[in-house]
Structure 1
Amino acid sequence: MISLEEFHQDFLQSILSDSESRGIMKPQAFFENVCEELINTGDLTINYTAAEYIKNGIEVYGYDFDEERKILTVLVHQFFQEDKIETLTKNHIKTKFNRLKTFLKKSLQGIYQEMEETSEAYSMAFNIFRYNQNKKVNKIRLMLLTDGKATRNLSELPNEIIGELPIELRVIDLEYIYKIFLTEYTNYQFEIDLELPCLEITTNSEEYKSYLTFLKGDHIVDIYEQYGQKLFEQNVRTFLQFRGNVNKGIRNTIEYKPEMFFAYNNGITATASDIELDNEKNIKKIKNFQIVNGGQTTSAIYAANKNSKLDIKDISVQMKLSVVKDKEKHHDFVSKVSEYANTQNKVNKSDFFSNSPFHKEMKNYSNRVWVAATSGSQRRTHWFYERVRGEYLNEQAYLTRAEKKKFQLENPKKQLLDKTFLAKSENVWLQKPDIVSRGAQYSFSTFAEDITNRLEKENLAITENFFKDAVSRVILFRTVEKMVSNATWYNGGYRAQTVAYTIAYLSYLVEKTGKFMDFSVIWDEQELPEHLITILERIAEKIYSEITSPPEGSANVSQWCKKKQCWESIKQLRIDIEINDELLINKEEQKYINREDKIEKKLDNSIEMQVFVVNTELEQWSILYNYYKRDYLKKRISHTQLDILKKMALGYLTPPSEKQSKILYQLYEKAIEEGVSF
């Protein structure tokens, strides 16, 4: 397992790589990286916004507002950026939180009136003032992020009161970030203590155990108050507010018929990695509790109590709890439960994007496709596709020093392909800068929807050329980030919006030519040609001027950039630019490339299927044959398919043909989806 010290070194290298490739300061890269992790864990929401404001006695770097729980979070950081792990002292904590408190008090008093209206700090201070004036805030969290290590007595800080609002102080240190990494790759647990009567359900499965129990309304409120979105990391749906009929029904039952809630509501489906029972066989502890169906029920009860002040003490909610101790099988189990259980409201297929074949395809090309040696280097490298944060580090966990060095040379940190960043670069080229401006998680959700639709229409959509072009668009995005940061006309603030709208506008100009961008010119050199950089510099300067001068009534630049009207306005700009033909290819060339790419992929897939089928043990084909030949399953496969499977199980096909391999492979995959284990 990766130690804290090893994680610290890798984490710093990630920050350095991110800083260099995107042209941003290391403290900014640190802050953005940690905030993205906290969004993934539910500690921050997709409303999180970076906004730096430093004055005498004031220091703040961003804020977040959890609309459902009415929690305002204001953020600061202490980035040591030292090779050894530094200790976060009492003085550090006191100084940072005092500066945050000063900013918070001044914001509540209306300091925004003294700020430049087009600055990000103005938007932050104004929103904090507005939230408070409109009585939207129930609690404020002051959060300190650090790459240092806080001692236990310093990390558990007493709450305070400012005005009438409770203030919670939180330190997110290196150990906390390390534990986020561990949750993905080890059996690190978060535990919920409670006392629940339960009934164990007897099953023949060795994969899981099931229990029936129930939660009282106040239990649900307390658990959600403490853990928030962390309870729904595996859930496919976020809370939809009181908009759909289901949620209105939940609210009405809470208000008018609370004693009937147990009878009317479908309850909660949850999973855990383990539970502890007391002597009376009651559940006293749940480890890694995840609500995979019933998120709306949970959130509705919480909102009814906190927002509408409804009494929830008489509410009882039934719960089906499945305990899956095998971590390797836990993710697939949860995904299946989510897919089959979520039928109350419409769930888009893209909501199950974590199981999309897109990731398998991208990982395959990531491992297989070499980047041409550039800048005099003799070593060829890969772009490493990271589906799960921390995967790059985890793959090195058990390598020897020599193997680790070889891995890092072949997969340099600067060529880490993060799925969230990929979503941003894809969306802007698809001319969705307003979507990207709404935040990384919102952008990723939209990207998932688009990819899912593509795969439904054409299962060969993700080809080697798609992979290369996607990497080229990432290079394009990073280059524009660096270019804007270093531009003489850039006065700071709204860099992310400027980058998004600049690339989207370039895509719009290319589209107007009736041709396509030839991304191979970027892939081959792993950098942008000078002519393209010149074009982007001219576009970016004009874009920056436009978005920082929003129309009257839209003084908040951040909010303006999130609107479709902003993009429509930008498209009306007339910038005298001529795109060199060397950067473009015509429709016929693009069709030929796509056709050849898909033919090659079909061939690759066919070879992969044959290799898989030949390498699979006869015993497994025998299990598969017995599974499919059962009477009630006979109608689901043809006589020919069953005959091929029988011959394979008996060892008569040596080797199977391409067509036979395809049939066998599809039967194998279908059985796995249906829960067959070997």
Structure 2
Amino acid sequence: MISLEEFHQDFLQSVLADAESRGLMRSQAFFETACEALVSIGELTSDYTAADYSKTGIEVHGYDYDETREMLTVLVHQFFQEDHIDTLTKMHITTKFNRLRTFVKRSIGGLYRDMEETSDAYSIAYYIYHYVQVGKVSRIRLIVLTDGKITRTLTDLPSEELDNIPVDLRVIDIEYIHKIYLSEYTDNNFEINVKLPYLEIPTSSEEYQSYLSFLTGDDLVGIYEQFGQKLFEQNVRTFLQFKGGVNKGIRNTIEYNPGLFFAYNNGITATASEVKFDDEGNISKIIDFQIVNGAQTTSSIYAAKKNSKLDVSKVSVQMKLSVVKEKEKQHDFVSKVSEYANTQNKVNKSDFFSNNPYHKEMKNNSKRVWAPSVGGSQRRTHWYYERVRGEYLNEQTYLTKAEKTKFQLENPKSQLLDKTFLSKSENSWLRKPDVVSKGAQYSFASFADHITGWLEKENLAITESYFKDAVARIILFKNVEKAISKAAWYDGGFRAQTVTYTIAYLSELVEATGKHFNFKKIWDEQQLPYELTPIIDIITKGIYDSITNPPEGSANIAQWCKKRECWERVKKLQMEVELDDSLLINEEETKYIRREEKKEKKLKNDIEIQIFVVNTQRQVWKTLLDHYKKYQSICKVTRTQMDILEKMALGTLVAPSERQSKVLNALYEKAINEGIVV
């Protein structure tokens, strides 16, 4: 297990590497890293906004608004950036909360009127004012983020009120962030205390045990109020659907026929890692509770009570609860339950992007492909693809000191590939800056749609060349960030929007030439080529001037950048830039490279399939044969496929050919996708 001290060192290095590679202030990189950790457990939404604003007696670094819970969170940080873990004293805490409280008070009073509209802080002050004015804030959280450790003399932070709104005070220190990391890889799960009657469902499976039960509307509201988004981490539809609106049918049932809710509604499907029972024969605790289907039901009941002020105490919600017995299989089991439970309604395939082969391909390439040595260095390095937050650190857990040093030299922190960051850089080049500007969840959903559709058309699309180009686009993205930060004209606002619009504009220029951008040049140099630097300088300035001067009726810059009309206007900008020939490659050359790489990848895939088929035990093929014999007409398996499978199951097919291996592999994958345990 990674100790707190080891985690602190890794965390600090992540912040420093991020700041260096993106041209951010270290405190900005710290704020973003800490907030992303909170997003991962549902403490913040993925649309939190960062902004620095400091005056005498006032300090703020960002805010977040949870629309469903009508919860406003305002954040400030104390970043020590020391090698050792500093103590956040009571004086630190008191001062930070006083400054944060003053900012919120003044924002409620209309502070935005005295601020520059081109500053990020203007948006924060405006939205605090707006949400309070329209009565959409039921609770405020003031949070202090720190890389230090909270003093042990402070045992309690009492709640208070501000403008008749309940206010909670919280300190998120390095110990708390460490626990978030541990929760990804240990049994550090949360518990829900309940008192639920249940019916145990007999099953022959050794993987899980299922129970039927029910929750009252008040039970569901209370659980969500306490744990929030944490309940839906593995629900594929949460981000797309959980928006706090009340479904009309559900609302009418709650209001006029609450006793019929159980009959009318499908209820929720949930999973857990363990349940405990009391002496009266009730479920008393649910550990690691996940609602994998029923986010819309939960959302509607919560909104009915909180927004429409309806009584939900007489509502009964049926619940199917599956407890996974083997913890190491929990993620795969939950993914399958989530997928099958959600197929009753239309769900885009991209909603299941976490199971997409894209991740496997990117991971394989990140381990196999060496980045070019630059700057006289003789050391080769990888760009490490981190599919799951904390994976980079977890991989080092059981390494010796020498092995860990070698790992870190070959996989430097500055070359960590995060899938959310990747979606922003890819969508920017795909000329979707308005989508990127809407926030991480919108960007990632759009990226998932793109990749899913692409792989359906070209299953060999994620080649080594694509991986290198994707890394080059990350390098481009980070260098544009850095260029803006250093620009003399830049006064601190809307950098994120300027970055994505700059890259989209550059992509549009390349598209107009009928050629392709030479990303190989960036990959080979591991930095922007000198021919591109002056072009970026011109574009960034033009973009910034455009987006910070929105048309009449679109005074809020942040909202303007989220509109397609903003991108349409930016596309028409005429800038004095000319792309050097070395930055472009023609269509024929691009097609040739892709064609050759697909041939090579297909050959590798075919060999891998044959190896897998030969190494798979005969009992597996027997299980598949029994299944397909039983359901041959339903599964639409041909006679030829059945002959090959039968020979493999009987052991008469000692060395299957390439074609036979493909048939057997396809039957295997088909069975797995249908939920057959082999």
- Normalising by the smaller structure, the TM-score range is over 0.9
Which stretch of the first structure deviates more once superposed, 465-474 or 326-335? Answer: 326-335
Q: Distance in 2 between matches of 1:248 and 1:240?
A: 15
Is the 8 Å Cα contact of residues 515 and 586 (structure 2) preserved in structure 1? yes
CA apart distance, 1:492: 1.1
What SS is found at the alignment partner of 1:551?
Answer: coil
Alignment of 1:241-640 (within 5 A): 247-343=247-343, 345-630=345-630, 636-640=636-640
Alignment of 1:118-197 (within 5 A): 118-150=118-150, 154=154, 156-197=156-197
CA apart distance, 1:153: 6.8
Q: Structure 1 residues 380, 614: closer, same or farther in 2, change over 3 A?
A: farther
CA apart distance, 1:535: 0.7
CA RMSD in angstroms, aligned pairs only: 1.9
CA apart distance, 1:359: 0.6
CA apart distance, 1:650: 4.2
Is the 8 Å Cα contact of residues 618 and 649 (structure 1) preserved in structure 2? yes
Which stretch of the first structure deviates more once superposed, 308-317 or 360-369? Answer: 360-369
Is the 8 Å Cα contact of residues 155 and 171 (structure 1) preserved in structure 2? no
What SS is found at the alignment partner of 1:291?
Answer: strand
CA apart distance, 1:567: 0.8
The residue aligned with 2:665 is: 665
Q: Structure 1 residues 466, 128: closer, same or farther in 2, change over 3 A?
A: same
Q: Distance in 2 between matches of 1:498 and 1:15?
A: 22
User: TM-score, normalised to structure 1's length?
Assistant: 0.96
What SS is found at the alignment partner of 1:281?
Answer: coil
Q: Distance in 1 between matches of 2:624 and 2:413?
A: 42
User: TM-score, normalised to structure 2's length?
Assistant: 0.96
CA apart distance, 1:634: 8.7
CA apart distance, 1:151: 5.1
Is the 8 Å Cα contact of residues 46 and 442 (structure 1) preserved in structure 2? no
What SS is found at the alignment partner of 1:342?
Answer: helix
Q: Structure 1 residues 606, 242: closer, same or farther in 2, change over 3 A?
A: closer
1:518-565 deviations in whole A, cap 9, x for unaligned? 111111111111011111111111111221222222222111111111
Q: Distance in 2 between matches of 1:449 and 1:378?
A: 40
1:115-169 deviations in whole A, cap 9, x for unaligned? 1122111121111111111111111110111112225773642100112111011
Q: Distance in 2 between matches of 1:117 and 1:507?
A: 29
CA apart distance, 1:652: 3.7
Q: Structure 1 residues 241, 634: closer, same or farther in 2, change over 3 A?
A: closer
Which stretch of the first structure deviates more once superposed, 41-50 or 224-233? Answer: 41-50
CA apart distance, 1:317: 0.5
CA apart distance, 1:220: 0.8
The residue aligned with 2:106 is: 106
Which stretch of the first structure deviates more once superposed, 273-282 or 639-648? Answer: 639-648
Q: Structure 1 residues 509, 325: closer, same or farther in 2, change over 3 A?
A: same
Q: Distance in 1 between matches of 2:173 and 2:564?
A: 38
Which stretch of the first structure deviates more once superposed, 230-239 or 217-226? Answer: 230-239
In structure 1, runs of 5+ residues without a counterpart are: none
Is the 8 Å Cα contact of residues 41 and 233 (structure 2) preserved in structure 1? yes
Which stretch of the first structure deviates more once superposed, 173-182 or 392-401? Answer: 173-182
Q: Distance in 2 between matches of 1:50 and 1:273?
A: 35
Q: Structure 1 residues 242, 372: closer, same or farther in 2, change over 3 A?
A: closer
- AA aligned opposite 1:660: Q
1:7-37 deviations in whole A, cap 9, x for unaligned? 1111111111111110111110010111122
Is the 8 Å Cα contact of residues 433 and 504 (structure 1) preserved in structure 2? yes
Q: Distance in 2 between matches of 1:320 and 1:559?
A: 41
The residue aligned with 1:117 is: 117
The residue aligned with 1:32 is: 32
Is the 8 Å Cα contact of residues 181 and 390 (structure 2) preserved in structure 1? yes
CA apart distance, 1:67: 1.5
Is the 8 Å Cα contact of residues 396 and 404 (structure 1) preserved in structure 2? yes
Is the 8 Å Cα contact of residues 51 and 60 (structure 1) preserved in structure 2? yes
Q: Distance in 2 between matches of 1:638 and 1:299?
A: 46
The residue aligned with 2:11 is: 11
- AA aligned opposite 1:201: I
- AA aligned opposite 2:394: N
Is the 8 Å Cα contact of residues 517 and 585 (structure 1) preserved in structure 2? yes
Q: Structure 1 residues 153, 223: closer, same or farther in 2, change over 3 A?
A: farther
- AA aligned opposite 2:482: K
- AA aligned opposite 1:395: E
CA apart distance, 1:626: 4.1
- AA aligned opposite 1:376: G
1:391-414 deviations in whole A, cap 9, x for unaligned? 111111111222212211221111
Q: Distance in 2 between matches of 1:29 and 1:635?
A: 52
- AA aligned opposite 2:8: H
Q: Distance in 1 between matches of 2:63 and 2:244?
A: 27
Q: Distance in 1 between matches of 2:196 and 2:17?
A: 48
Q: Distance in 2 between matches of 1:649 and 1:634?
A: 21
What is the aligned length? Answer: 677
Q: Distance in 2 between matches of 1:468 and 1:177?
A: 32
Is the 8 Å Cα contact of residues 293 and 342 (structure 1) preserved in structure 2? yes
CA apart distance, 1:600: 1.5
CA apart distance, 1:279: 1.7
Is the 8 Å Cα contact of residues 275 and 283 (structure 2) preserved in structure 1? yes
CA apart distance, 1:580: 0.8
Is the 8 Å Cα contact of residues 206 and 325 (structure 2) preserved in structure 1? no
Q: Distance in 2 between matches of 1:208 and 1:621?
A: 24
Is the 8 Å Cα contact of residues 244 and 299 (structure 2) preserved in structure 1? no
- AA aligned opposite 2:20: E
What SS is found at the alignment partner of 1:529?
Answer: coil
Q: Structure 1 residues 657, 10: closer, same or farther in 2, change over 3 A?
A: same
CA apart distance, 1:177: 1.5
What SS is found at the alignment partner of 1:530?
Answer: coil
1:346-385 deviations in whole A, cap 9, x for unaligned? 2111111110111111111111112122221222221111
- AA aligned opposite 2:54: I
Q: Distance in 2 between matches of 1:677 and 1:100?
A: 54
- AA aligned opposite 2:357: P
Q: Structure 1 residues 491, 551: closer, same or farther in 2, change over 3 A?
A: same
1:196-247 deviations in whole A, cap 9, x for unaligned? 1111111001100000100011111111111111111111113747999x92
Q: Structure 1 residues 2, 250: closer, same or farther in 2, change over 3 A?
A: same
Q: Distance in 2 between matches of 1:482 and 1:218?
A: 50
Is the 8 Å Cα contact of residues 475 and 526 (structure 1) preserved in structure 2? yes
Q: Structure 1 residues 162, 304: closer, same or farther in 2, change over 3 A?
A: same
CA apart distance, 1:289: 0.5
- AA aligned opposite 1:546: S
- AA aligned opposite 1:255: E
Is the 8 Å Cα contact of residues 477 and 503 (structure 1) preserved in structure 2? yes
Is the 8 Å Cα contact of residues 23 and 485 (structure 1) preserved in structure 2? yes
Q: Structure 1 residues 502, 635: closer, same or farther in 2, change over 3 A?
A: closer
Q: Distance in 2 between matches of 1:655 and 1:384?
A: 37
Q: Distance in 1 between matches of 2:443 and 2:201?
A: 41
CA apart distance, 1:175: 2.0
Is the 8 Å Cα contact of residues 67 and 243 (structure 2) preserved in structure 1? no
Is the 8 Å Cα contact of residues 118 and 555 (structure 1) preserved in structure 2? no
Q: Distance in 2 between matches of 1:612 and 1:47?
A: 43
What SS is found at the alignment partner of 1:550?
Answer: coil
- AA aligned opposite 2:328: E
